[in-house]
Structure 1
Amino acid sequence: MSEKSEIVAREERMPEQTSKLATLTPLVDIFENDNEILLHADMPGVPKEEITVNIDNGRLEISGTRKLSATGSITWQEFGDAEYRRVFSVPQTIDVAKVNAELQDGVLRLHLPKSEKAKPRMVEIKAG
């Protein structure tokens, strides 16, 4: 076996090691009423300090990093550190200054209030 083919064979046997986290898409529920759009995103194990919410030019991006710490040797592992990431298009009628978020029991709740001009209104009919 030549030296070159030996290196190639050795590289094929070695598992690829990367430092990137697994990227997961959080499951979401989206509700809409006359006043707001409410988005619930499932992000278990992500502390609020690791979550970012960006709204820019009709684009909503949520992301968060879950880092698990364990003691002892791993006997079985089916999930570990991961990054949650999801992007949505949102209407320009969202009042970005009033958007708020809360995290409870691993669920991120985003309140995206509609601007006044986007809310439905009743039109009075006048007699002629």
Structure 2
Amino acid sequence: MFDDLRRFDTGPFQGLDWFRQLMDEVFPEGGVADIRAVPRGSYPMINVGRTDDAVRVYVFAAGLSPHDLEISLQDNVLTLRGKREALPPDSEGESRRPYFRRERFDGEFARSIALPEGLDADLSEARFHDGIFEIHLPKREELKPRRIEIKAA
């Protein structure tokens, strides 16, 4: 009689969907977009790469000028500070509000990241082009890998 009553097949990811909804309730605004992401609201977004000679940090900050960003390095911690202004009024003097959705914030920001040991802060330099800041942090000479030549005996 009850053979026809079956549980609905919800798939193997039902538990994960439930867990995601639960996490969204617990952390509504400050949660993480996905497992590889930084917390929402982290600004500016960055990429960090390392070669044998240096560490390079790419800071993606569209709309900022070199005067809007302060970069400092102390104890292998790179700190980015600045302020992003609100959008100016349109040509008729009207404010660009009200918003239906607003993802671009304005105001002060600061972001710090730990970098590997052995960087030479005195030789560091930063460049700016099209909203991307490239920070070049060379390694100290004594820490750079050296090739050892093999001599025939």
Identity %, equivalent residues: 25
Q: Deviations over 1:61-110 (max 9, x none)?
A: 11221113223133443234233422111233111001111121111110
Give the TM-score normalised by the residue count of structure 2.
Answer: 0.60
1:108 paired with 2:130, answer no
The TM-score with structure 1 as length reference comes to 0.70
| Superposition deviation, residue 52 in structure 1 | 0.6
Pick 1 or 2: higher relative contact order, CA cutoff 8 A, min separation 6.
1
2:113 equivalent in structure 1: 88
Query: What's the CA shift for 1:34?
Result: 1.4
Whole-angstrom distance in 2 between the partners of 1:28 and 1:50? 16
**Unpaired stretches in structure 2, ≥5 consecutive residues:** 1-40
Cα deviation code 1:5-64 (max 9, x no counterpart): xxxxxxxxxxxxxxxxxx642221112111111111111212211211111112111122
Structure 1 stretches of at least 4 aligned residues deviating more than 3 Å after TM superposition: 124-128
More strand by share: 1
Contact 1:24–1:83 (8 Å) recurs in 2: no
Aligned length: 106
> In the alignment, does 2:95 pair up with 1:73?
yes
Contact 1:32 1:38 in 2 (8 A): yes
2:81 paired residue number = 63
Q: Which amino acid aligns with 1:91?
A: P
Find the partner of 1:117 among 142, 145, 149.
142
Looking at structure 2, the residues matched to 49 and 74 of structure 1 have their Cα atoms a distance apart, in angstroms, of 25
Q: CA RMSD in A?
A: 2.0
The answer to whether the 8 Å contact 1:40/1:108 transfers is: yes
